[in-house]
Structure 1
Protein backbone atom coordinates (compact mmCIF):
# COMPACT_ATOMS: atom_id res chain seq x y z
CA UNK A 1 0.00 0.00 0.00
CA UNK A 2 1.40 3.36 -1.06
CA UNK A 3 0.63 5.19 2.20
CA UNK A 4 2.37 2.47 4.23
CA UNK A 5 5.40 2.49 1.94
CA UNK A 6 5.73 6.28 2.04
CA UNK A 7 5.36 6.28 5.83
CA UNK A 8 8.06 3.60 6.04
CA UNK A 9 10.63 5.60 4.07
CA UNK A 10 9.80 8.82 5.91
CA UNK A 11 10.11 6.96 9.22
CA UNK A 12 13.49 5.46 8.36
CA UNK A 13 14.90 8.72 6.98
CA UNK A 14 13.69 10.84 9.89
CA UNK A 15 14.73 8.18 12.41
CA UNK A 16 18.31 8.06 11.13
CA UNK A 17 18.53 11.85 11.22
CA UNK A 18 17.14 11.87 14.76
CA UNK A 19 19.67 9.31 15.98
CA UNK A 20 22.47 11.61 14.85
CA UNK A 21 20.98 14.95 15.88
CA UNK A 22 20.11 13.65 19.35
CA UNK A 23 23.73 13.95 20.43
CA UNK A 24 24.26 17.56 19.36
CA UNK A 25 21.97 19.22 21.95
CA UNK A 26 22.92 16.52 24.45
CA UNK A 27 26.64 17.34 24.24
CA UNK A 28 26.50 21.07 23.44
CA UNK A 29 26.36 23.75 26.13
CA UNK A 30 22.81 23.89 27.46
CA UNK A 31 21.06 27.11 26.49
CA UNK A 32 23.56 27.94 23.74
CA UNK A 33 22.29 29.00 20.26
CA UNK A 34 23.50 25.67 18.85
CA UNK A 35 21.65 23.74 21.54
CA UNK A 36 18.43 25.64 20.87
CA UNK A 37 18.59 25.49 17.07
CA UNK A 38 19.52 21.81 16.77
CA UNK A 39 17.06 21.01 19.55
CA UNK A 40 14.25 22.53 17.47
CA UNK A 41 15.26 20.41 14.51
CA UNK A 42 15.43 17.31 16.71
CA UNK A 43 11.91 17.95 17.99
CA UNK A 44 10.52 18.38 14.47
CA UNK A 45 12.20 15.19 13.35
CA UNK A 46 10.87 13.29 16.36
CA UNK A 47 7.33 14.48 15.57
CA UNK A 48 7.84 13.13 12.05
CA UNK A 49 9.14 9.83 13.42
CA UNK A 50 6.14 9.52 15.73
CA UNK A 51 3.56 10.40 13.06
CA UNK A 52 4.98 8.05 10.44
CA UNK A 53 5.33 5.27 13.02
CA UNK A 54 1.72 5.65 14.10
CA UNK A 55 0.54 5.53 10.47
CA UNK A 56 2.50 2.35 9.74
CA UNK A 57 1.55 0.64 12.99
CA UNK A 58 -2.14 1.52 12.67
CA UNK A 59 -2.29 0.14 9.13
CA UNK A 60 -0.49 -3.03 10.22
CA UNK A 61 -2.87 -3.53 13.14
CA UNK A 62 -5.93 -3.04 10.94
CA UNK A 63 -4.84 -4.99 7.84
CA UNK A 64 -1.80 -7.12 8.71
CA UNK A 65 -1.92 -9.45 5.70
CA UNK A 66 -2.64 -6.62 3.27
CA UNK A 67 0.33 -4.58 4.50
CA UNK A 68 2.59 -7.67 4.72
CA UNK A 69 1.36 -10.21 2.16
CA UNK A 70 2.91 -13.67 2.19
CA UNK A 71 4.91 -14.83 -0.81
CA UNK A 72 3.01 -18.15 -0.82
CA UNK A 73 -0.52 -19.23 -0.03
CA UNK A 74 -1.03 -19.68 3.70
CA UNK A 75 -3.23 -22.14 5.51
CA UNK A 76 -5.67 -20.73 8.04
CA UNK A 77 -3.31 -21.67 10.87
CA UNK A 78 -0.32 -20.09 9.14
CA UNK A 79 -2.33 -16.97 8.40
CA UNK A 80 -3.26 -16.60 12.07
CA UNK A 81 0.38 -16.98 13.11
CA UNK A 82 1.46 -14.35 10.59
CA UNK A 83 -1.29 -11.97 11.71
CA UNK A 84 -0.19 -12.37 15.32
CA UNK A 85 3.46 -11.69 14.41
CA UNK A 86 2.64 -8.57 12.40
CA UNK A 87 0.35 -7.22 15.10
CA UNK A 88 2.91 -7.90 17.82
CA UNK A 89 5.49 -5.79 16.00
CA UNK A 90 2.92 -3.15 15.09
CA UNK A 91 1.64 -2.88 18.66
CA UNK A 92 5.13 -2.34 20.00
CA UNK A 93 5.91 0.24 17.29
CA UNK A 94 2.62 2.00 18.04
CA UNK A 95 3.44 2.29 21.74
CA UNK A 96 6.99 3.51 21.00
CA UNK A 97 5.59 6.13 18.60
CA UNK A 98 3.25 7.41 21.31
CA UNK A 99 6.22 7.51 23.69
CA UNK A 100 8.20 9.61 21.19
CA UNK A 101 5.25 11.94 20.60
CA UNK A 102 4.46 12.50 24.28
CA UNK A 103 8.05 12.97 25.46
CA UNK A 104 8.89 15.33 22.59
CA UNK A 105 5.76 17.41 23.15
CA UNK A 106 6.20 17.45 26.93
CA UNK A 107 9.85 18.44 26.65
CA UNK A 108 9.11 21.39 24.38
CA UNK A 109 6.08 22.62 26.27
CA UNK A 110 8.08 22.71 29.49
CA UNK A 111 10.93 24.74 28.00
CA UNK A 112 8.62 27.11 26.12
CA UNK A 113 6.22 27.75 28.99
CA UNK A 114 8.70 27.38 31.87
CA UNK A 115 6.88 27.97 35.18
CA UNK A 116 3.51 28.22 33.43
CA UNK A 117 2.20 24.65 33.43
CA UNK A 118 -1.31 25.51 32.19
CA UNK A 119 -0.59 24.19 28.64
CA UNK A 120 0.38 20.84 30.16
CA UNK A 121 -3.09 20.58 31.70
CA UNK A 122 -4.99 21.17 28.49
CA UNK A 123 -7.14 18.30 27.19
CA UNK A 124 -4.89 17.38 24.25
CA UNK A 125 -1.73 16.94 26.30
CA UNK A 126 -3.55 15.16 29.13
CA UNK A 127 -5.20 12.85 26.59
CA UNK A 128 -1.84 12.01 24.98
CA UNK A 129 -0.26 11.28 28.35
CA UNK A 130 -3.26 9.14 29.29
CA UNK A 131 -2.98 7.30 25.98
CA UNK A 132 0.68 6.57 26.73
CA UNK A 133 -0.34 5.31 30.17
CA UNK A 134 -2.93 3.01 28.60
CA UNK A 135 -0.40 1.74 26.04
CA UNK A 136 2.09 1.02 28.81
CA UNK A 137 -0.47 -0.86 30.87
CA UNK A 138 -1.42 -2.92 27.81
CA UNK A 139 2.26 -3.72 27.17
CA UNK A 140 2.61 -4.81 30.80
CA UNK A 141 -0.45 -7.05 30.52
CA UNK A 142 0.73 -8.65 27.29
CA UNK A 143 4.24 -9.02 28.68
CA UNK A 144 2.99 -10.77 31.80
CA UNK A 145 0.73 -13.02 29.79
CA UNK A 146 3.46 -14.01 27.33
CA UNK A 147 6.49 -13.79 29.69
CA UNK A 148 7.92 -11.18 27.29
CA UNK A 149 10.73 -9.15 28.87
CA UNK A 150 10.74 -6.54 26.10
CA UNK A 151 7.06 -5.72 26.57
CA UNK A 152 7.43 -5.74 30.35
CA UNK A 153 10.40 -3.35 30.27
CA UNK A 154 8.82 -0.87 27.93
CA UNK A 155 5.38 -1.16 29.46
CA UNK A 156 6.95 -0.15 32.77
CA UNK A 157 8.90 2.68 31.10
CA UNK A 158 5.79 4.04 29.37
CA UNK A 159 3.73 3.94 32.57
CA UNK A 160 6.55 5.65 34.47
CA UNK A 161 6.99 8.38 31.83
CA UNK A 162 3.24 9.02 31.48
CA UNK A 163 2.82 9.14 35.25
CA UNK A 164 5.75 11.53 35.58
CA UNK A 165 4.38 13.88 32.91
CA UNK A 166 0.94 13.98 34.53
CA UNK A 167 2.40 14.42 38.00
CA UNK A 168 4.54 17.35 36.86
CA UNK A 169 1.56 18.97 35.13
CA UNK A 170 -0.86 18.71 38.06
CA UNK A 171 1.23 18.88 41.24
CA UNK A 172 0.49 21.93 43.37
CA UNK A 173 3.89 23.64 43.16
CA UNK A 174 7.30 23.12 41.56
CA UNK A 175 9.61 21.73 44.20
CA UNK A 176 13.02 22.69 42.84
CA UNK A 177 14.56 25.82 41.30
CA UNK A 178 14.03 25.78 37.52
CA UNK A 179 12.41 22.38 37.65
CA UNK A 180 11.04 23.02 34.16
CA UNK A 181 14.64 22.78 32.88
CA UNK A 182 15.28 19.31 34.26
CA UNK A 183 11.82 18.21 33.08
CA UNK A 184 12.69 19.42 29.58
CA UNK A 185 15.99 17.53 29.53
CA UNK A 186 14.47 14.36 30.93
CA UNK A 187 11.57 14.30 28.47
CA UNK A 188 13.67 14.84 25.36
CA UNK A 189 16.23 12.30 26.55
CA UNK A 190 13.37 9.81 26.88
CA UNK A 191 12.40 10.65 23.29
CA UNK A 192 15.93 9.73 22.21
CA UNK A 193 15.71 6.49 24.22
CA UNK A 194 12.60 5.50 22.26
CA UNK A 195 14.30 6.33 18.96
CA UNK A 196 17.36 4.21 19.74
CA UNK A 197 15.18 1.37 20.98
CA UNK A 198 13.21 1.39 17.74
CA UNK A 199 16.49 1.32 15.81
CA UNK A 200 17.81 -1.73 17.66
CA UNK A 201 14.50 -3.61 17.63
CA UNK A 202 13.45 -2.97 14.03
CA UNK A 203 16.64 -2.33 12.10
CA UNK A 204 19.89 -2.31 14.00
CA UNK A 205 19.51 -5.89 15.17
CA UNK A 206 19.69 -7.23 11.61
CA UNK A 207 22.72 -5.09 10.84
CA UNK A 208 24.62 -6.16 13.95
CA UNK A 209 23.63 -9.78 13.42
CA UNK A 210 25.28 -9.68 10.02
CA UNK A 211 28.50 -8.44 11.61
CA UNK A 212 28.62 -10.78 14.60
CA UNK A 213 26.44 -13.78 13.67
CA UNK A 214 28.07 -16.28 16.02
CA UNK A 215 27.83 -14.23 19.19
CA UNK A 216 24.67 -12.18 18.59
CA UNK A 217 22.01 -14.68 19.61
CA UNK A 218 22.02 -13.90 23.32
CA UNK A 219 22.55 -10.15 22.96
CA UNK A 220 19.33 -9.03 21.28
CA UNK A 221 17.32 -8.43 24.46
CA UNK A 222 20.25 -6.46 25.92
CA UNK A 223 20.35 -4.22 22.86
CA UNK A 224 16.60 -3.69 23.04
CA UNK A 225 16.48 -2.86 26.75
CA UNK A 226 19.92 -1.23 26.90
CA UNK A 227 18.92 2.26 25.64
CA UNK A 228 16.23 2.44 28.30
CA UNK A 229 18.61 1.46 31.09
CA UNK A 230 21.41 3.76 29.95
CA UNK A 231 18.99 6.60 29.25
CA UNK A 232 17.28 6.20 32.60
CA UNK A 233 20.62 6.47 34.40
CA UNK A 234 21.54 9.50 32.27
CA UNK A 235 18.25 11.23 33.10
CA UNK A 236 18.79 10.62 36.80
CA UNK A 237 22.35 11.94 36.74
CA UNK A 238 21.46 15.02 34.69
CA UNK A 239 18.50 15.82 36.91
CA UNK A 240 20.61 15.55 40.06
CA UNK A 241 23.37 17.67 38.50
CA UNK A 242 21.11 20.54 37.49
CA UNK A 243 19.14 20.46 40.72
CA UNK A 244 22.40 20.97 42.61
CA UNK A 245 23.53 23.63 40.17
CA UNK A 246 20.29 25.62 40.24
CA UNK A 247 20.16 25.40 44.02
CA UNK A 248 23.32 27.55 44.09
CA UNK A 249 22.31 31.03 42.87
CA UNK A 250 25.90 32.19 42.61
CA UNK A 251 26.56 29.87 39.68
CA UNK A 252 25.66 30.42 36.04
CA UNK A 253 22.01 29.50 35.65
CA UNK A 254 22.18 28.96 31.90
CA UNK A 255 24.78 26.21 31.84
Structure 2
Protein backbone atom coordinates (compact mmCIF):
# COMPACT_ATOMS: atom_id res chain seq x y z
CA UNK A 1 0.00 0.00 0.00
CA UNK A 2 2.80 2.42 0.91
CA UNK A 3 4.58 1.70 -2.39
CA UNK A 4 1.45 2.45 -4.45
CA UNK A 5 0.79 5.64 -2.49
CA UNK A 6 4.45 6.63 -2.98
CA UNK A 7 4.13 6.25 -6.76
CA UNK A 8 0.86 8.20 -6.83
CA UNK A 9 2.37 11.04 -4.82
CA UNK A 10 5.35 11.16 -7.18
CA UNK A 11 3.00 11.68 -10.14
CA UNK A 12 1.67 14.76 -8.33
CA UNK A 13 4.93 15.96 -6.80
CA UNK A 14 7.13 15.93 -9.92
CA UNK A 15 5.01 18.07 -12.32
CA UNK A 16 4.15 20.58 -9.60
CA UNK A 17 7.81 20.72 -8.63
CA UNK A 18 8.88 21.36 -12.22
CA UNK A 19 6.21 24.05 -12.58
CA UNK A 20 7.36 25.70 -9.34
CA UNK A 21 10.95 25.89 -10.60
CA UNK A 22 9.69 27.88 -13.60
CA UNK A 23 7.14 30.00 -11.74
CA UNK A 24 9.75 31.09 -9.21
CA UNK A 25 11.39 33.32 -11.83
CA UNK A 26 8.30 34.91 -13.38
CA UNK A 27 7.55 37.44 -10.59
CA UNK A 28 11.26 38.33 -10.32
CA UNK A 29 11.33 40.27 -13.58
CA UNK A 30 8.01 42.05 -12.99
CA UNK A 31 7.43 45.31 -11.09
CA UNK A 32 6.91 44.57 -7.40
CA UNK A 33 3.26 44.81 -6.42
CA UNK A 34 1.98 44.82 -10.01
CA UNK A 35 -1.07 42.65 -10.84
CA UNK A 36 1.06 40.17 -12.84
CA UNK A 37 3.64 39.99 -10.07
CA UNK A 38 0.91 39.15 -7.57
CA UNK A 39 -0.78 36.65 -9.89
CA UNK A 40 2.36 34.69 -10.79
CA UNK A 41 3.50 34.92 -7.18
CA UNK A 42 0.28 33.27 -6.03
CA UNK A 43 0.64 30.56 -8.67
CA UNK A 44 4.12 29.85 -7.34
CA UNK A 45 2.88 29.91 -3.73
CA UNK A 46 0.10 27.37 -4.32
CA UNK A 47 2.24 25.09 -6.49
CA UNK A 48 4.95 25.06 -3.84
CA UNK A 49 2.46 24.09 -1.14
CA UNK A 50 1.46 21.08 -3.24
CA UNK A 51 5.17 20.23 -3.50
CA UNK A 52 5.73 20.63 0.25
CA UNK A 53 2.72 18.55 1.30
CA UNK A 54 3.46 15.75 -1.17
CA UNK A 55 7.13 15.76 -0.12
CA UNK A 56 6.12 15.35 3.51
CA UNK A 57 3.80 12.47 2.61
CA UNK A 58 6.55 10.92 0.46
CA UNK A 59 8.86 11.17 3.47
CA UNK A 60 6.36 9.18 5.54
CA UNK A 61 6.03 6.59 2.77
CA UNK A 62 9.80 6.23 2.54
CA UNK A 63 9.96 5.75 6.29
CA UNK A 64 7.41 2.93 6.08
CA UNK A 65 9.36 1.40 3.17
CA UNK A 66 12.60 1.56 5.22
CA UNK A 67 14.19 4.12 2.88
CA UNK A 68 15.46 6.11 5.82
CA UNK A 69 17.85 8.52 4.11
CA UNK A 70 15.26 9.55 1.51
CA UNK A 71 12.70 9.97 4.31
CA UNK A 72 15.12 12.09 6.32
CA UNK A 73 16.05 14.47 3.51
CA UNK A 74 12.52 14.82 2.14
CA UNK A 75 11.14 15.47 5.61
CA UNK A 76 13.77 18.05 6.42
CA UNK A 77 13.43 19.81 3.06
CA UNK A 78 9.66 19.93 3.61
CA UNK A 79 10.12 21.65 6.97
CA UNK A 80 12.80 24.09 5.83
CA UNK A 81 10.68 25.01 2.80
CA UNK A 82 7.32 25.29 4.55
CA UNK A 83 8.29 28.02 7.02
CA UNK A 84 9.67 30.65 4.59
CA UNK A 85 6.94 29.80 2.09
CA UNK A 86 4.32 30.42 4.78
CA UNK A 87 5.70 33.68 6.13
CA UNK A 88 6.58 35.12 2.70
CA UNK A 89 2.84 35.18 1.98
CA UNK A 90 1.44 35.64 5.48
CA UNK A 91 3.66 38.62 6.37
CA UNK A 92 2.00 40.70 3.63
CA UNK A 93 -1.30 40.42 5.52
CA UNK A 94 0.20 41.85 8.71
CA UNK A 95 -0.17 45.55 9.38
CA UNK A 96 1.64 47.71 11.92
CA UNK A 97 0.88 45.16 14.65
CA UNK A 98 1.35 41.44 14.03
CA UNK A 99 -1.67 39.33 14.90
CA UNK A 100 -1.34 36.87 17.79
CA UNK A 101 -2.25 33.99 15.45
CA UNK A 102 0.61 34.87 13.10
CA UNK A 103 3.09 35.14 15.97
CA UNK A 104 2.04 31.80 17.53
CA UNK A 105 2.18 29.90 14.22
CA UNK A 106 5.57 31.49 13.58
CA UNK A 107 6.82 30.24 16.96
CA UNK A 108 5.64 26.70 16.19
CA UNK A 109 7.38 26.71 12.80
CA UNK A 110 10.60 28.06 14.33
CA UNK A 111 10.60 25.45 17.12
CA UNK A 112 10.13 22.57 14.66
CA UNK A 113 12.74 23.98 12.29
CA UNK A 114 15.32 24.52 15.04
CA UNK A 115 14.80 21.02 16.47
CA UNK A 116 15.09 19.52 12.97
CA UNK A 117 18.33 21.41 12.31
CA UNK A 118 19.85 20.16 15.57
CA UNK A 119 18.76 16.63 14.64
CA UNK A 120 20.43 16.87 11.22
CA UNK A 121 23.69 18.08 12.75
CA UNK A 122 23.70 15.33 15.37
CA UNK A 123 22.92 12.68 12.77
CA UNK A 124 25.64 13.95 10.44
CA UNK A 125 28.19 14.00 13.25
CA UNK A 126 27.36 10.93 15.31
CA UNK A 127 26.45 8.55 12.49
CA UNK A 128 28.57 9.81 9.58
CA UNK A 129 31.28 11.85 11.37
CA UNK A 130 30.54 14.70 8.94
CA UNK A 131 31.95 12.64 6.05
CA UNK A 132 30.14 12.05 2.75
CA UNK A 133 26.40 12.45 3.40
CA UNK A 134 27.28 13.65 6.90
CA UNK A 135 28.87 16.79 5.41
CA UNK A 136 25.63 17.78 3.70
CA UNK A 137 23.57 16.90 6.77
CA UNK A 138 25.74 19.15 8.90
CA UNK A 139 25.60 21.95 6.31
CA UNK A 140 21.82 21.89 5.97
CA UNK A 141 21.38 21.54 9.71
CA UNK A 142 23.41 24.72 10.24
CA UNK A 143 21.01 26.61 7.97
CA UNK A 144 18.23 26.04 10.50
CA UNK A 145 20.14 27.28 13.55
CA UNK A 146 19.28 31.01 13.11
CA UNK A 147 15.67 29.99 13.75
CA UNK A 148 16.69 29.40 17.38
CA UNK A 149 17.55 33.09 17.73
CA UNK A 150 14.27 34.13 16.12
CA UNK A 151 12.34 31.67 18.30
CA UNK A 152 13.18 33.55 21.50
CA UNK A 153 12.66 37.06 20.15
CA UNK A 154 9.87 39.01 21.71
CA UNK A 155 7.12 40.18 19.40
CA UNK A 156 8.10 43.87 19.55
CA UNK A 157 11.75 43.09 18.76
CA UNK A 158 10.84 40.78 15.86
CA UNK A 159 8.49 43.37 14.38
CA UNK A 160 11.17 46.04 14.62
CA UNK A 161 13.87 43.97 12.94
CA UNK A 162 11.81 42.17 10.28
CA UNK A 163 10.16 44.51 7.79
CA UNK A 164 7.31 43.12 5.72
CA UNK A 165 8.78 43.56 2.24
CA UNK A 166 12.21 42.22 3.19
CA UNK A 167 10.65 39.17 4.86
CA UNK A 168 8.49 38.57 1.79
CA UNK A 169 11.53 38.70 -0.50
CA UNK A 170 13.66 36.60 1.84
CA UNK A 171 10.99 33.93 2.36
CA UNK A 172 10.29 33.60 -1.35
CA UNK A 173 13.98 33.25 -2.19
CA UNK A 174 14.59 30.70 0.58
CA UNK A 175 11.66 28.58 -0.62
CA UNK A 176 13.12 28.74 -4.14
CA UNK A 177 16.53 27.68 -2.80
CA UNK A 178 14.90 24.67 -1.16
CA UNK A 179 13.05 23.78 -4.37
CA UNK A 180 16.21 23.86 -6.48
CA UNK A 181 18.17 22.00 -3.79
CA UNK A 182 15.55 19.24 -3.74
CA UNK A 183 15.73 19.03 -7.54
CA UNK A 184 19.53 18.75 -7.41
CA UNK A 185 19.36 16.12 -4.67
CA UNK A 186 16.80 13.84 -6.30
CA UNK A 187 15.78 14.34 -9.94
CA UNK A 188 18.77 16.46 -10.90
CA UNK A 189 21.28 14.02 -9.45
CA UNK A 190 20.11 11.31 -11.84
CA UNK A 191 20.62 13.63 -14.80
CA UNK A 192 24.06 14.74 -13.65
CA UNK A 193 25.30 11.24 -12.86
CA UNK A 194 23.48 9.20 -15.51
CA UNK A 195 23.54 11.48 -18.55
CA UNK A 196 26.37 13.93 -17.89
CA UNK A 197 28.59 11.42 -16.04
CA UNK A 198 29.01 13.80 -13.11
CA UNK A 199 31.25 12.06 -10.55
CA UNK A 200 29.53 11.12 -7.27
CA UNK A 201 32.18 12.83 -5.16
CA UNK A 202 31.24 16.18 -6.71
CA UNK A 203 27.50 15.83 -6.04
CA UNK A 204 27.84 18.09 -3.01
CA UNK A 205 28.28 21.01 -5.46
CA UNK A 206 24.75 21.00 -6.96
CA UNK A 207 23.37 20.41 -3.45
CA UNK A 208 25.05 23.48 -1.97
CA UNK A 209 25.17 25.77 -5.03
CA UNK A 210 21.48 26.86 -4.87
CA UNK A 211 21.99 27.94 -1.25
CA UNK A 212 25.13 29.95 -2.04
CA UNK A 213 23.55 31.66 -5.06
CA UNK A 214 20.31 32.23 -3.15
CA UNK A 215 22.09 33.93 -0.24
CA UNK A 216 23.93 36.23 -2.66
CA UNK A 217 20.69 37.11 -4.48
CA UNK A 218 18.82 37.62 -1.19
CA UNK A 219 21.47 40.06 0.07
CA UNK A 220 21.31 41.93 -3.24
CA UNK A 221 17.52 42.26 -3.03
CA UNK A 222 17.65 43.38 0.60
CA UNK A 223 20.12 46.15 -0.29
CA UNK A 224 18.01 47.12 -3.27
CA UNK A 225 14.90 47.58 -1.12
CA UNK A 226 16.73 48.81 1.99
CA UNK A 227 14.84 52.08 2.05
CA UNK A 228 11.42 50.49 1.49
Length-normalised TM-score, structure 2: 0.88
Q: How does 1:78-227 map to 2 (within 5 A)?
A: 83=66, 86-118=67-99, 119-122=101-104, 124-145=105-126, 146=128, 147=130, 148-160=134-146, 162-163=147-148, 166=151, 170-172=155-157, 174-175=159-160, 179-213=163-197, 215-227=198-210
Distance (Å, rounded) in 2 between the aligned partners of 1:141 and 1:159: 13
Distance (Å, rounded) in 2 between the aligned partners of 1:130 and 1:173: 15
Distance (Å, rounded) in 2 between the aligned partners of 1:3 and 1:218: 32
Distance (Å, rounded) in 1 between the aligned partners of 2:174 and 2:84: 6
Aligned length: 220
Which secondary structure does the structure 2 equivalent of 1:116 belong to?
coil
Q: How does 1:48-87 map to 2 (within 5 A)?
A: 48-61=50-63, 63-64=64-65, 83=66, 86-87=67-68
Asked which structure has the greater CA Rg, the reply is: 1
Q: Tell me the alpha carbon deviations over residues 109-165 of structure 1, each in whole angstroms, 9 at most, x when there is no partner.
A: 11122433224312x3322221111111111111222111111111111223x3466
Distance (Å, rounded) in 1 between the aligned partners of 2:79 and 2:106: 12
Q: Runs of 5+ in structure 1 lacking a partner?
A: 65-82, 247-255
Which secondary structure does the structure 1 equivalent of 2:32 belong to?
coil
RMSD: 2.0
Which secondary structure does the structure 2 equivalent of 1:24 belong to?
coil
Which secondary structure does the structure 1 equivalent of 2:26 belong to?
helix
Length-normalised TM-score, structure 1: 0.79
Show the counterpart of 1:74: none
Q: Runs of 5+ in structure 2 lacking a partner?
A: none
Distance (Å, rounded) in 1 between the aligned partners of 2:56 and 2:11: 13
Show the counterpart of 1:43: 45
